[in-house]
């Protein structure tokens, strides 16, 4: 702890300036969170129901219609879509996502990684910077997604992924992102994207009986890409809301820590000032005593 009054005053002023910044960042994140939270809360029920319908169709379909996007094959080449943020100062948000991606590679796709068959599609600057720095195979086209966050832009990304899967450049595609729960809680998860996962019927429940109109092949070919677009867009909106929630929480905690530090510094300042006064009084008394002597 600094000993002189000037050093302590400088520290106090520095902490106050930092606290003003963290308060402002908390307010900005809170405003952005409200908009992001509204967006994901409106999208999530629609996206989940679409995904459920698609999974049921894939699981219960016994016809001859070709569903290339739902066809499983030996996993040789893997694409991981890792959704991080563009900026830091959001606690462990980005580091936890990157840690989950690396854990997934190590535990599930280690053989493919050793063969150089793992490709990363980072959505967000922080993930892009990390995976480029560590020499991963990176698709660097879409990392700036949050500067142009729209359903049309995400649909273009989804179309690129579907094309790569159909052409055999990827055998498995997973999304790694943070699902928004509330401002203080995010759930980091890995979600299968391609091939389209099947939905298992609970025991005792009959298979869903679908009546297709106009035709099975036409309907599936039209429906599947749209649902996949929505699924990816939902993940991006979840990540966007999670980022602002994590940053708001981190800035709130930083502001509280600044209060604690200011309290400690003020005590240190008062002690230093009292010591200085005591020293001055001692010198005055000693001088007066010397004059009298």
Return the active site residues: 90
Work out the angle between the directed axes of helices 93-108 and 125-133 (0-180°, nearest 10). 50
- Half-sphere CA count of 273, side-chain side, radius 13 A: 9
In the sheet that 185-194 helps form, which strands lie side by side, from edge to edge?
137-138, 118-123, 78-83, 172-182, 185-194
Separation between Cα atoms, residue 101 and residue 120, nearest integer Å:
9
Given a contact cutoff of 8 angstroms between Cβ atoms, the answer to whether 248 and 26 are in contact is yes
Strand partners, 238: none
List the end-to-end C-alpha distance of the chain, in Å, as a whole number. 40
Phi, psi torsion values for 118, nearest 5 degrees:
-100, 125
Longest CA span, the chain? 116
Separation between Cα atoms, residue 48 and residue 113, nearest integer Å:
31
Of the candidates 15, 26, 35, the one whose C-alpha atom is nearest the C-alpha of residue 240 is: 35
Of the candidates 107, 167, 177, 164, the one whose C-alpha atom is nearest the C-alpha of residue 137 is: 164
């Amino acid at each position: 702890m600094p000993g002189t009054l000037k050093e302590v005053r400088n520290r106090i002023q520095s902490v106050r300036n930092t606290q003003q910044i963290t308060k402002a960042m908390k307010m900005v994140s809170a405003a952005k969170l409200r908009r992001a939270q509204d967006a994901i809360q409106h999208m999530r029920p629609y996206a989940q129901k679409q995904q459920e319908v698609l999974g049921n169709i894939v699981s219960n379909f016994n016809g001859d219609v070709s569903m290339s996007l739902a066809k499983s094959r030996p996993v040789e080449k893997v694409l991981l879509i890792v959704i991080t943020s563009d900026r830091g100062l959001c606690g462990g948000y980005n580091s936890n996502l990157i840690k989950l991606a690396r854990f997934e590679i190590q535990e599930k796709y280690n053989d493919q990684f050793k063969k150089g068959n793992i490709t990363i599609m980072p959505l967000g600057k922080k993930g892009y910077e990390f995976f480029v720095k560590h020499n991963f195979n990176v698709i660097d086209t879409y990392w700036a997604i949050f500067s142009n966050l729209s359903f049309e832009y995400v649909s273009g990304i989804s179309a690129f992924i579907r094309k790569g899967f159909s052409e055999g450049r990827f055998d498995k595609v997973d999304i790694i992102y943070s699902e928004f729960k509330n401002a203080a809680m995010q759930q980091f998860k890995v979600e299968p994207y391609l091939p389209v996962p099947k939905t298992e019927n609970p025991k005792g429940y009959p298979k869903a009986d679908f009546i297709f109109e106009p035709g099975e092949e036409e309907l599936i070919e039209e429906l599947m890409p749209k649902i996949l677009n929505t699924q990816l867009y939902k993940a991006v909106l979840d990540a966007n809301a999670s980022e602002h929630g994590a940053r708001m929480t981190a800035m709130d905690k930083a502001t509280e820590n600044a209060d604690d530090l200011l309290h400690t510094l003020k005590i240190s300042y008062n002690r230093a000032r009292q010591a200085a006064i005591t020293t001055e009084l001692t010198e005055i008394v000693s001088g007066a005593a010397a004059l009298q002597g």
